Structure 1
Amino acid sequence: MGVSFSESGAEDLVPVVNLSEAPGERLAWDRPRWLVYLWGLTELILVTNPLQVSSILRVATLRLFGARIGDGVIYRPRTRVRFPWHLEIGDRCWIGEGVWIHNQNKVQIGDDVAISQEAFISTGSHAMRRDMALITSPVRIEDGAWIASRAMLLGGTTIGRSSVVAPNCVIGPKATIPANTIVRQNPDLMSTERFSFKGENDSRTSND
C-alpha cells in the first residue's frame, strides 16, 4: 500500500504514505497530455496574466479549450482553471480577480452567480486513511448565488439558488446549502435567510 513506519520509537509508529505510489493523479485529465500542457501555457498567457485585461478574450480562450460559458460573463485577471473542459458557467456571471477553480471533476455555475476575489473551488480530495488516491466529486452553484471573497467550496458541494457564502467560509466536502441562505463563519450567525418574504419592505431595509 506504500505505507512506511518510523523506526525511532513506539511513539513514532505512525504510518506515512509514499506519495510517489499514490494512484489517480492523471485519471482526471481526461485529455491527451499535449493538450493539458498546451492549456497550461495558454492559461498563463491569456487567463491568469494580470496584464491581459480583456474579459472577452479570457472567456473566448476558455471556450476554445472546452468550457461552456454563457452570455454576458465578466471574467477578471489572475484567475485559474485546472481543466476548462470540466467547467460550465451560465449567463451574466461575475468571476472575480484571483478566483481559482481547481476542477478535476465538473464545476457547474448557474446564471447570475458572483464569485468574488480569491475564492477557491476544488473538486478533489485524497483517500487519506488508505493510499492518498485521488478522489473527485462535482461542485454545483445554482442561479443567483454569491460566493464571497476567499470562500472555499470543496468537492460534492451544492450551493442553493440565491444563497450567499460569506468571506473566508469553508463549505464541504459533500455539503448542501439550501436556497436563499446566508452562511457565515461566525457560529452565532451560521445560517440566515437572504431574502425575507414576511413583508414587502423587509428585504429593502438593509444593505447586508
Structure 2
Amino acid sequence: MHNIDTYKGASFSLGNRLKRLAWGMFYVVFFRFSPRPMHAYRAFILRCFGAKVGKGVHVYPGVKIWAPWNLILDDECGIASGVELYSQGVITVGYRAIVSQGTYVCTGTHDYTKVGHPLYTLPITIMNKAWVAADCFIHPGVTIGEGAVIGARSVVTKNMPDWMVCAGHPCKPLKERVMDN
C-alpha cells in the first residue's frame, strides 16, 4: 500500500487512483449500460484494463468492479448483475464457477490493531465449478473449494472445502455436493 496511515492520506498511489478514475469513467459510459447479451464485448473491455479473461465468460453489465487489472476470470465462468468485485487485491474465479447476484467479494480490509488503520489486501479464489449463491459476502483471503456451493446470504470468513454445500453466518460445510448426470 501507498500509505500506512489512512487518517493522513490515500492508501493507494496517485497512479492507481488515476487508473481507477479512467476505469470508472469508461465503466459508466461503455460497460454499465451495454446490452446484457454482449458478454464478449465486456470481456474485451476488461482485457483492455488488464483483466485476465478466458473464453465464454459471462460478466453482466450490472457488475461493479473496483480494479479490473486484479481480476482473473477462467473459461465459462459467470458473474451476475449486482455482484460487487472489490478487487483491491486479486480475485480469481475458476472454470464454470458462478457468482450470483448481490454477492460482495471483498479483498481489502484494515488492520484495526495499528494506529493508522492501514489497509491490507488478501486474494480471494473461487475454484472451478463452485457456485456462490445470491447475496453472499466473501471475506479477504478466502478460497471457495472446487465444486462447493455457498448458500444464499452466507458470510464466508474462512476457506470452504471441495464439493460441499455450505451455508450460514458464519458459513460452514453442511453436506456433500453430489452431482447427477
Normalised TM-score (structure 1): 0.76
Cα distance in 2, alignment partners of residues 33 and 118 from structure 1 = 25
1-structure distance, mates of 2:99, 2:55: 16
1:43 Cα offset (Å): 1.3
Match of 1:132 in 2: 117
Deviations 1:70-129 (A, max 9, x none): 001111121111111110000011111111100111111110101111111010001123
* Higher CA-based Rg: 1
Task: Identify the match of residue 51 of structure 2 among 67, 72, 75.
Answer: 67
In the alignment, the residues of structure 1 paired with residue 97 and residue 127 of structure 2 have an alpha-carbon distance, to the nearest angstrom, of 8
Residue equivalent to 2:176: 193
Structure 2 unaligned segments of length 5 or more: list them: none
The two structures, once aligned, show a CA RMSD in angstroms of 2.3
Match of 2:66 among 82, 105, 119: 82
1:148 to 113, 133, 150: 133
Q: Secondary structure at the match of 1:156?
A: coil
Deviant stretches of 4+, over 4 Å? none
Q: Paired residue for 2:154? A: 169
Return the alpha-carbon distance in structure 2 between the equivalents of residues 165 and 32 of structure 1. Answer: 32
Shift of 1:34: 3.1
Q: Residues 154 and 169 of structure 2 are in contact (CA less than 8 Å); yes or no, is this contact kept in structure 1? A: no
2:102 is paired with a residue of what secondary structure? coil
Classify the secondary structure of the residue corresponding to 1:20.
Answer: coil
Letter in 2 for 1:25: S
The CA distance in 1 between the partners of 2:163 and 2:131, in whole Å, is: 11
1:1-208 to structure 2, matched below 5 A, reads: 20-21=7-8, 25-26=11-12, 31-49=15-33, 52-53=35-36, 54-130=38-114, 131-172=116-157, 175-185=158-168, 190-195=173-178, 203-204=179-180
Question: Take 1:88 and 1:185, find their aligned partners in 2: how far apart are those partners?
Answer: 27
Q: Give the whole-Å Cα distance in 2 for the aligned partners of 1:133 and 1:120.
A: 21
- Compared with structure 1, are the counterparts of its residues 45 and 161 closer, same or farther at alpha carbon in structure 2 (3 Å cutoff)? same
Shift of 1:33: 4.0
Query: What fraction of aligned residue pairs are identical, expressed as a percent?
Result: 26
1:177 aligns to what SS in structure 2? coil
Deviates more, 1:75-84 or 1:155-164: 75-84
Tell me the CA shift for residue 176 of structure 1.
1.2
Q: What is the CA deviation profile of residues 41-92 of structure 1, one whole-angstrom value per residue up to 9, with x for unaligned ones?
A: 111223333x543222211111100000100111112111111111000001
Q: Distance in 1 between matches of 2:130 and 2:101?
A: 15
Contact 1:118 1:150 in 2 (8 A): yes
